[in-house]
Amino acid sequence: MQKKRNRAGPPQQEAASDDGEMSDSSDKMEVAQGKGKSAVKRAPDADEVLRPVKLSKSDLYKPPTNDELNRLKETEHLFHTNLLRMQIEELLQEVKLKEKRRKTIDGFLREINTLLGTIPETPQTDLTDQTWLPDSIKVPILQVPYQVKGKFCFLPPSSIKVVGSYLLGTCIKPEINVDLAVTMPQEILQAKDNLNQRYSRKRALYLAHIASHLANNELFSSVKFTYMNSNHLKPVLLLRPYGKDEKLVTVRIHVCPPPGFFKISRLYPNKNNVRTAWYTEQETEGVNEPPTPHYNNTILSDLTLEHHLHHLSNCASDFPGMKDAVALLKVWLHQRQLDKGYGCFNGFLAAMLISYLLSKNKINKVMSGYQVLRNTLQFLATTDLTVNGITMATSTDSSLPSLHDFHEAFQVVFVDPLGVVNLCADMTTNKYHQIQFEARESLKVLDDTSADGFHLLLMVPKPFVRTFDHVFHLTNVSKLQGTCKKMKLLNQLIDQGGDYLATSLPYVLSILSKGLGPRVALLSHTLPHRPEWDIGEEPAKHRDSSLLSVGLLLEAELHTSVLEKGPAADSSQALDFRAFWGEKSELRRFQDGSICEAVVWPGSSLCEKRKVPELIVKYLLELHADIPESCISYTGNVLDCVLTRGKEAGTEEEKMVGIIQSYDDLSRKLWNLTDLPLTVTSVQGTHPCLRYSDVFPPLPVKPDWSSYQLLREKKCLVPNPEKPCPAYVAPVKVICHMEGSGKWPQDKDAIKRVKAAFQIRLAELLRAQHQLLCNPSATHTDVYKDGYVFRVQVAYHREPQYMKEIVTPEGMLKYQDTEESLQLELETLHLPSLTSTLHGLHQQHPAFGGTSRMAKRWIHSQLLGDSFSEECVDLLVAHLFLHPAPYSPPSSPQVGFLRFLHLLATFDWKNSPLIVNLNGELKGPDYTEIQNDFISARAQLPVMFIATPKDKKDSLWTKTQPTAQILQRLIVLCLESLRALEQQLMDPSGSQDYKMTFRPPLDLYDILIRLNPKQIPRHREAVDQPAKSFFRGLLKEGAQVKDLMFPVVGYDPVQCYLQELREAYGEFALFFHDKHGGDVIGVLWKPSGFEPQPFKTTNMTGRVMDGKSAKPLLVPNVEAIVEDFEILGEGLVASVEARTERWSI
């Protein structure tokens, strides 16, 4: 029998093979790429591993050269460390435009320049008469209302200039934009063009005519329109070169008025330039015309394009650090998704800010890019431009608008050097606060010497959905029209030219901020973004803007509070409070006797409490903004559904509290036991539910005798093979340390016996003194208490010591780790301390438990749960909370889970240890020590290396598992799940089946063993609610029981079966199963097991002599093995599906 393997088969199959080294994984990854399933980074080759550096003595001690000293000194002054300097240099090299490319672009620009000069003139027509435009071109502006006075004719531009980042040399790859400012000749414009969008219309027509002449030119691969920064009054023309440089550059053509054409004082923020009568197309007599600051600002920014360029190039001259800093800031902003869309903080703004800091002497021209970046962040972090705006104006002209005028008109104020344009006109308060928040967080990271600041600041993307704890979307943006009406925002709407999204956004956000109050640390939104469109299409409408998402960064403690306490009933604020909360507001009497207005939200369980922010958002938006609930897609808690068991609602956090109370009571009883020969020194639980991270915590059980066999003399129940398997009762393990004493024997076997005697004694005493049902055995005592079963295990702290003893031939007593002693230490020493530490972590970060449970649930659901220890996952999750940078610690399990996937998938397991600084015990030198130890011993260490303060060298929890192949497989799954999940969470119009990522692909397994649900005790825990349920021998909670019998503990036939399979056939196959209610076992053949082998007595396990080949070789007896699967699992196995197309016998 020969087994043929399909080499090009799916990568997962390969990934599970047990032999081979880590380097194998790279080929496998490539296969995955070939399939095009996910954009996986190419795994590094085998030789790309960090090795300890060895320098020869002569190299180390040779006299230093001047250059070397200079560089070392410079580094010390200008950068944090050498490494940071080199990293920044590398990054800049990567993003900056190469000189060669620059030449290509220059050539392209010259050609455009000549083309623009040859565009023919058109005769003068009314603005509204657009018949002269060819049908294939649509005017790139929304002409609402259509009627407008004025004449238009096309004349060749009076000047064409390159402006912006390309000239300054601050543009960065991959999106190189070159801005071309085309000045309209004066003759086109008329005296009152600043009024009623006339200028904007002319600008658009001018652009349309240019577009119509460039449209069919073969120089361009595409000619498109878009709005500059998504501001619908400012269309620009996008030109991309034809051929191989298509992706290289986008030329943006801006049209601007001749300098000095408009009287600037008419465009001050308190002036009106759009008449209400014109906009509403109704006669409105005697209305006070409202100021139109945003409209004015768009015209002004066109007027000042050139001036700003001069200003910036003055600053940038002999200031190399500025170019670097702008490039770095752009990267920083881009990673945080702050640099695109309406009201963004773009590169231009960054450059302006740096020039401001330069003018204020906060930075100087000798600073390095890194220092400038740092200072800029420092400035952003500490200055609130929404309250204290800044201006660069130097003139003392008193006629210029004051900062106060700007604050009246705009939310964020940053005035340009002329003193008239607000550069942050479109930015919302919330966005600016987000920028401030990011800057603050980034500075913290930079100050933390143990973190890799460069990586976290500049290399890690922070997508919206992973940054905020809760995210919700407005699925129907056009509903905001109603909001404008409801909030009476007509004046603002006129100012924004009808852009209801931009108009209502600040108001909606302020209502939410007020309503959520201290529950949120930060409330922000995605920037409205309008796509590009073809020149033949109608311009993008307001409703076309990408959907608006709002993100909430929650306060861990406060966001679940169910009570909103208002002012006292008789105070003057009470009315406001009632108006704000509407009918939800009610009078309540509080414990201190006061009677206050209050709003109470439902919150009987933690799962419900997590929904409070959602309720508030939905309620307030409906009440104040007329946005119905159906238009809000709140995705903050959608993954909670994977933590519910069966039909029960809720995520069972309360159940764990119940167990912990019962456990506390038990430990008190153990402490106070009288008549024990030695006293109890400590009682420590080790079960995951005692650190809130058990996926499905044990439930209190009351067995129904009729479903069991009775063992009267031992007062125990035994499962009945005829009946459905009884519900799984997980023993909650508790380690009980006994006092050290001379009475303990000094021999490991004797200690075991004494411990057994203690177990018996414990059982007797608990029974006698506390009437608890106990069941002692040699290694532990099971205690049935409050419906839970605790497994108390007696421990003696010196026992591992005795296990390690070895006497050398010289008669010296030596201690050497043995497997037995390590195991015992793990159970009685490390696990209890980890459990209590993580318990503490959960108290600090209430989302820890939920995140960990979700992560475990996911790993199990992918059938890989048996390859990762519970503690390993817990530590990974703890890392998210203890080292959250560049994020803040998650406050909702869902976002924690997303970050978990991201961490697992992107961490460089090969070259770095994952350091989890529990309790903050590790200090600076410890980090380097761990790093160095890791690098020098890499080959001997486990593939996943997790270091904690108590475990710097061994990575206890990943020592044996996972293997490189399993880890590789999990990483592939992580990337795919993360991608799918984030897409789902950000796109409410798509599939709403969030459990999708929790269903494993089964097509890669060679054999599927289907199990009979009747014998799966945890079937209810399955991801998808099973159709059929069985009576599992449990009584309802309140039922009366006449006599207590010990329930069946820790009996799971599926686990027994898996163990037998792995013991017998581990050499040939890997077995995958989801212990939480999975009804299938996936079997994957190992290629190594199928290789024919010569005869040896030791490998004669399940093999058969291959008589056909010339040499007598052994091959696995596959048919018999497959049938054995059925035999061993009699009663449990429903069917064994061999997928013969995948392997042949």
**What residues from 890 to 919 belong to the interface with other proteins (CB under 8 A)?**
908, 911
Q: CB 1124: neighbour CB atoms within 10 A?
A: 17
Residue 334 within binding range of other proteins, rule CB under 8 A: yes
Q: Kindly give the residue spans of alpha helices, DSSP state H, lying in 222-359.
A: 276-280, 293-303, 305-316, 320-335, 347-359
Q: How far apart are CA 627 and CA 505, in angstroms?
A: 13
Give the residue, chosen from 534, 704, 1124, 1137, that forms a contact with other proteins under the rule CB under 8 A. 1124
- Residue 595 or 1105 with smaller CB distance to other proteins: 1105
Work out the widest C-alpha separation in the chain, in whole angstroms: 112
- Residue 9 or 64 with smaller CB distance to other proteins: 64
Per-residue H/E/C for 426-474: CCCHHHHHHHHHHHHHHHHHHHCCCCCHHHHHHHCCCCHHHHCCEEEEE
Stretch that binds other proteins, among 344-352, 579-587, 805-813, 1083-1091 (CB under 8 A): 805-813
Q: Kindly give the residue spans of alpha helices, DSSP state H, lying in 1014-1106.
A: 1053-1065
In order, the DSSP letters of 927-972 are HHHHHHHHHHTGGGS-SS-EEBTTBSSS-GGGSS---HHHHHHHHH
CB of 353 to other proteins, least distance (A): 20
Q: Which of 241, 239, 242 is nearest to 251 (CA)?
A: 239
Instruction: Give the list of residues 6+ apart from residue 155 with CB closer than 8 angstroms, or none.
Output: 121, 184, 185, 187, 188
CB of 238 to other proteins, least distance (A): 20
Give me the count of residues in the chain.
Answer: 1145
Q: How far apart are CA 787 and CA 363, in angstroms?
A: 68
Q: Which two tokens stand for residue 494?
A: 């006129």
Q: How far apart are CA 600 and CA 608, in angstroms?
A: 13
Give the residue, chosen from 1131, 1135, 1140, 1144, that forms a contact with other proteins under the rule CB under 8 A. 1131
Stretch that binds other proteins, among 158-166, 632-640, 958-966, 1118-1126 (CB under 8 A): 1118-1126
Give the residue, chosen from 714, 798, 923, 1010, that forms a contact with other proteins under the rule CB under 8 A. 714
- Give, as ranges, the residues between 1060 and 1089 that touch other proteins (CB under 8 A): 1060, 1063-1066
Give the residue, chosen from 6, 9, 27, 64, that forms a contact with other proteins under the rule CB under 8 A. 64
Residue 326 within binding range of other proteins, rule CB under 8 A: no
- Residue 486 or 979 with smaller CB distance to other proteins: 979
Stretch that binds other proteins, among 266-274, 317-325, 433-441, 720-728 (CB under 8 A): 720-728
Give the residue, chosen from 146, 590, 671, 1095, that forms a contact with other proteins under the rule CB under 8 A. 1095
- Residue 8 or 53 with smaller CB distance to other proteins: 53
CB of 752 to other proteins, least distance (A): 6
CB of 1104 to other proteins, least distance (A): 6
- Residue 498 or 1077 with smaller CB distance to other proteins: 1077
Instruction: Give the list of residues 6+ apart from residue 99 with CB closer than 8 angstroms, or none.
Output: none
CB 792 within 8 A of CB 670: yes
- Give, as ranges, the residues between 437 and 466 that touch other proteins (CB under 8 A): 458-459, 461
Burial of 59 from C-beta contacts in 10 A (0-12 / 13-18 / 19+): exposed
- Give, as ranges, the residues between 693 and 712 that touch other proteins (CB under 8 A): 709, 711
- Residue 52 or 593 with smaller CB distance to other proteins: 52
Beta bridge partners of 597: 587
CB of 861 to other proteins, least distance (A): 25
R_g (Cα) of the chain, nearest Å: 35
CB of 905 to other proteins, least distance (A): 15
CB 97 within 8 A of CB 173: yes
CB 184 within 8 A of CB 257: yes
Q: How far apart are CA 1080 and CA 808, in angstroms?
A: 51
Stretch that binds other proteins, among 75-83, 125-133, 187-195, 885-893 (CB under 8 A): 75-83
Q: How far apart are CA 112 and CA 223, in angstroms?
A: 12
- Give, as ranges, the residues between 1000 and 1059 that touch other proteins (CB under 8 A): 1015, 1048, 1051, 1053, 1056-1057
Give the residue, chosen from 87, 197, 226, 891, that forms a contact with other proteins under the rule CB under 8 A. 87
Site string for other proteins, 736-755 (x = CB under 8 A): ---------x-x-xx-xxx-
Give the residue, chosen from 1106, 1136, 1138, 1139, that forms a contact with other proteins under the rule CB under 8 A. 1106
- Give, as ranges, the residues between 756 and 785 that touch other proteins (CB under 8 A): 756-757, 760, 763, 775-778
Residue 814 within binding range of other proteins, rule CB under 8 A: yes
Q: How far apart are CA 862 and CA 622, in angstroms?
A: 40
- Residue 190 or 720 with smaller CB distance to other proteins: 720
Residue 82 within binding range of other proteins, rule CB under 8 A: yes
Give the residue, chosen from 18, 23, 50, 132, that forms a contact with other proteins under the rule CB under 8 A. 50
Q: Which of 686, 922, 968 is nearest to 40 (CA)?
A: 968
- Give, as ranges, the residues between 18 and 47 that touch other proteins (CB under 8 A): 41, 44
Residue 67 within binding range of other proteins, rule CB under 8 A: no
For CA atoms 479, 480, 482, 483, give the dihedral sign: positive
Give the residue, chosen from 734, 1132, 1142, 1143, that forms a contact with other proteins under the rule CB under 8 A. 1132
Residue 685's φ and ψ, nearest 5 degrees, are -85, 150
- Residue 507 or 1057 with smaller CB distance to other proteins: 1057
Q: How far apart are CA 243 and CA 252, in angstroms?
A: 18
Instruction: Give the list of residues 6+ apart from residue 1052 with CB closer than 8 angstroms, or none.
Output: 725, 728, 1017, 1018, 1075
- Give, as ranges, the residues between 335 and 354 that touch other proteins (CB under 8 A): 335
Give the residue, chosen from 440, 1102, 1136, 1137, that forms a contact with other proteins under the rule CB under 8 A. 1102
716-722: long-range contacts, CB 8 A cutoff, minimum separation 24: 716/775, 716/1045, 716/1046, 717/1045, 717/1046, 717/1047, 717/1048, 718/1048, 719/1048, 719/1051, 721/1131
Residue 1133 within binding range of other proteins, rule CB under 8 A: yes
Give the residue, chosen from 81, 136, 573, 983, that forms a contact with other proteins under the rule CB under 8 A. 81
Size of the site for other proteins (CB under 8 A): 98
Give the residue, chosen from 66, 1108, 1111, 1141, that forms a contact with other proteins under the rule CB under 8 A. 1108
Q: How far apart are CA 132 and CA 212, in angstroms?
A: 11
Give the residue, chosen from 91, 255, 553, 826, that forms a contact with other proteins under the rule CB under 8 A. 91
Stretch that binds other proteins, among 220-228, 436-444, 936-944, 1107-1115 (CB under 8 A): 1107-1115
Residue 730 within binding range of other proteins, rule CB under 8 A: no
- Residue 347 or 401 with smaller CB distance to other proteins: 347
Q: How far apart are CA 370 and CA 379, in angstroms?
A: 14
CB of 776 to other proteins, least distance (A): 6
Q: Which two tokens stand for residue 414?
A: 């940053």
Stretch that binds other proteins, among 59-67, 462-470, 847-855, 945-953 (CB under 8 A): 59-67
Q: Which of 138, 133, 175 is nearest to 541 (CA)?
A: 138
CB of 167 to other proteins, least distance (A): 23
Residue 797 within binding range of other proteins, rule CB under 8 A: no
Give the residue, chosen from 36, 120, 123, 174, that forms a contact with other proteins under the rule CB under 8 A. 174
Give the residue, chosen from 36, 39, 56, 60, that forms a contact with other proteins under the rule CB under 8 A. 60
- Give, as ranges, the residues between 625 and 664 that touch other proteins (CB under 8 A): none
Q: How far apart are CA 1004 and CA 1083, in angstroms?
A: 9
Q: How far apart are CA 1057 and CA 1081, in angstroms?
A: 10
Residue 97 within binding range of other proteins, rule CB under 8 A: no
Residue 685 within binding range of other proteins, rule CB under 8 A: no
